[in-house]
Amino acid sequence: MTACIVGWAHTPFGKHDAETVESLITRVAREALEHAGVAARDIDQVYLGHFNAGFSPQDFTAALVLQADENFRFKPATRVENACATGSAAVHQALNSIEAKAARIVLVVGVEQMTKTPPAQIGENLLRASYLPEDGQTPAGFAGVFGKIAGAYFQ
């Protein structure tokens, strides 16, 4: 079976002070279903890509997708987290489900909301995506980790 993307949606990048992680998820899920011409009742599985690391007090976010439509009730929903590759990891999980014939139609949603977090804490939260025994004390935090990688690459 060949999988394909039949619909999509996204919010504009930027500050959304009036939005929450939940409202961003439900808004995009509804819009993606509408764009695809697929009803929530026809979705077999849901994957949510969300690197939280302290950006949201709501840790279990996979279930928030279910708030988009009552027909998502009892649908399996799984949160995928893989640092900077969280979104693509969620897509890969959906592909795996389709290829394994565990699902025919899968909804993948990704969400991040960093703008409600103070800048110093953003760097601290992002640093959690590194290997802390090696990178936890890197000057300049997460940006410093990328500087270290670039420095090693160009030597």
What are the boundaries of each domain within the chain? 1-115, 118-155
Per-residue confidence (pLDDT) for residue 22, from 0 to 100: 96
Which residue type, as a one-letter code, is found at position 19?
E
As a whole number, mean pLDDT of residues 2-14 equals: 92
Report whether pLDDT(82) > 70: yes
As a whole number, mean pLDDT of residues 122-147 equals: 87
Q: Give me the torsion for CA of 60, 65, 70, 72, rounded to 10°.
A: -90
Per-residue confidence (pLDDT) for residue 28, from 0 to 100: 97
As a whole number, mean pLDDT of residues 59-70 equals: 94
**% of the chain at pLDDT higher than 90:** 63
Just give the CATH number of 1-115.
Answer: 3.40.47.10
Report whether pLDDT(140) > 90: no
Report whether pLDDT(1) > 80: no
The phi-psi region of residue 12 (left if phi > 0; otherwise alpha if psi is between -120 and 50; otherwise beta) is beta
**% of the chain at pLDDT higher than 70:** 99
